[in-house]
């Protein structure tokens, strides 16, 4: 059993148990613009590790308040930096295997990749300027 601590909150939530239920086994609605890539175990290698541009991966969940605050910031970055960087999102409730593989314990968690390697990680809501600066420094 895995626990995630939501940054800025003192409560703990058990992965998979706080997720809002969906009917008919439908996947939840993505919390992102069309420029943000939804990543799963199946496409992680192709979209993140084999990317020719820097990638920021947001590990998030629908029930996470700080994740919802960070979402619009990442949407803006994805639109403004389209082609120069990738913004990807991993829903930890739907892709728990990736969360485990990358040791995610707190969300939101931003992991920065370039050339298939993890270069930096940050936990919690980050200012847009810090995220952009980190991505630009990886070019």
Domain boundaries, the chain: 3-14+31-134
pTM, two decimal places: 0.79
Cα(83)–Cα(109) distance, integer angstroms: 23
pLDDT tens over the chain, length 139 residues: 344 555 444 334 434 434 443 333 444 444 567 889 999 999 999 999 999 999 999 999 999 999 999 999 999 999 999 999 999 999 999 999 999 999 999 999 999 999 999 999 999 999 999 999 999 998 6
User: Residue 129's pLDDT is what?
Assistant: 96
Classify domain 3-14+31-134 at the CATH superfamily level. Answer: Glutaredoxin (3.40.30.10)
36 secondary structure, DSSP code: S
Active site residues: 64, 67
User: Residue 139's pLDDT is what?
Assistant: 67
CA distances from 38 to 9, 33, 93 (A): 25, 10, 13
Cα(4)–Cα(105) distance, integer angstroms: 5
User: Residue 20's pLDDT is what?
Assistant: 40
User: b/e per residue, 45-62, with b = 16+ CB within 10 A?
Assistant: eebbeebeebbbbbbbbb
User: Residue 39's pLDDT is what?
Assistant: 95
User: Residue 138's pLDDT is what?
Assistant: 86
């Amino acid at each position: 059993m895995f626990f995630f601590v939501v940054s800025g909150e003192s409560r703990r939530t058990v992965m998979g148990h706080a997720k809002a239920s969906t009917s008919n086994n439908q996947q939840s609605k993505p919390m992102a613009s069309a420029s943000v890539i939804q990543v799963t175990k199946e496409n992680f290698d192709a979209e993140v590790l084999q990317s020719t541009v820097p990638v920021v991966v947001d590990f998030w969940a629908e029930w996470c308040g700080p994740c919802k605050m960070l979402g619009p910031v990442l949407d803006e970055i994805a639109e403004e930096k389209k082609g120069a960087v990738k913004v990807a999102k991993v829903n930890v409730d739907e892709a728990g295997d990736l969360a485990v593989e990358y040791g995610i314990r707190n969300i939101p968690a931003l992991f920065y990749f370039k050339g298939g390697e993890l270069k930096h990680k940050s936990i919690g809501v980050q200012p847009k300027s810090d995220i952009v600066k980190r991505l630009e420094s990886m070019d």
